[in-house]
Amino acid sequence: MIAIKNLHKSFKKNHVLKGIDVEIRGQGILALLGPNGSGKTTMLKCFLGMVIPDSGEILFQGNNIIGQYVYRQSVGYLPQIAKFPENLTGRELIELMKSIKSGETREDALIDLFDLSSELDKKMSNLSGGNRQKVNITLALMHDSPLIILDEPSAGLDPLSIKKFKDFLRLEKERGKTIIVTTHIMSLAEDLADDILFLLDGQVYFQGSLSRLLELQMEESLENAIAQILDSKKKSPSHERYIEV
């Protein structure tokens, strides 16, 4: 579904993506992991055309999408730091989103899921952090898109909301969607993910199934496996990479 080939991106002198090669074939949930500043958000923004890559190719359903925009009709995107006009209410934003992007919508299901209806008539600037995030998620997922990209979706959500949201994502997966999630909460990744994509210093350090990663690192939990990678990298920075497809 998605193929990224030798993707490079620098911001001034900061070389953030150093030749990313990724292939995401089928449906299911992919957890995009990596330490702060490793380039996860930048890679996703390149896919969405918000950041213009310096070189490399990005294919979506077989077509090169750099400079294109129609493909975004098939993508639901939750930004890590959502930027919306602050003086609008959630309801106005939902209407606005509907007018921008065509197709069936299902905002009511999401509003129900998060119990949001009483918050929708408040201005975005007056919402609590978690409720803002719920509106953001609603905006990202209200169109029934085959590809869902979520950059830190759990940020600010309470445990019950996280649980409901996880259930929602599992259902989406069963309906055949491809979902990419970044998170720093390892238990969330462990819970949801079929596959792991681990970025380190702007390169793909590991791509493969969760169980394969645990096996390679000889660890029981994802948290320990990741900690071990980061630790061994500190000791020998030129550590060999594992890439499994």
Partner 1 sequence: MKDILRYSFYEMVRSRWVYIYTAFYLITTISLWLLSNDNSKVLISMTNITLGLTPLIGLLFGTTYYYNSREFIQMLMSQPLSRWNIFISVYGGLAITLCASVLVGVGLPMLFFGVLQTETLSIFLILLTMACTLSIIFSLIAFLVAMRYDDKVRGLSISILIWLTFAILYDGVVLLLLLVFKDYPLDQLTIGAIVLNPIDMARILIIMKLDISAMMGYTGAVLSTFLGKTWGTGLIILSILTWMLLPLLSLRRLGNHKDF
The DSSP output letter for 125 is G
Stretch binding partner 1 (CB under 8 A), from 44-52, 178-186, 210-218, 221-229: 44-52
Residue 152, phi-psi category: left (phi > 0), alpha (psi -120 to 50), beta (remainder)? left
Report, in Å, the least distance between residue 202 CB and ligand ATP. 8
The item of partner 1, ligand ATP, Mg ion, none sharing an interface with residue 52, based on CB under 5 to 8 Å by kind, is partner 1
Please identify, among the stretches 95-103, 171-179, 183-191, 223-231, the one whose residues bind partner 1 according to the rule CB under 8 A.
Answer: 95-103
Alpha helices for the chain (secondary structure H): 40-48, 90-100, 107-114, 129-141, 159-174, 186-192, 210-217, 222-235
45 binds partner 1 (CB under 8 A): yes
CB of residue 211 to partner 1, shortest distance in Å:
33
Supply the DSSP symbol for 241.
Answer: P
Span interacting with Mg ion, options 53-61, 79-87, 189-197, 217-225, rule CB under 5 A: 79-87
**Is 41 near Mg ion (CB under 5 A)?**
yes
Structure tokens given for 75? 């993508």
Q: Is 67 helix (H, G, I), strand (E, B) or coil?
A: coil
Give me the residue label for tokens 């096996």.
Answer: 215
Q: Which residues bind to ligand ATP, rule: CB under 6 A?
A: 11, 14, 16, 34, 36-42, 80
Q: Give the CA dihedral 223, 228, 233, 234, nearest 10 degrees.
A: 100
Size of the site for Mg ion (CB under 5 A): 3
Tell me which of 74, 80, 89, 203 binds Mg ion, using CB under 5 A: 80
* Closest listed residue to residue 155, CA positions, set 82, 89, 92, 106: 82
Contact residues: partner 1, CB under 8 A: 11, 45, 48-52, 67, 69-73, 75, 77, 79, 82-87, 96-97, 99-101
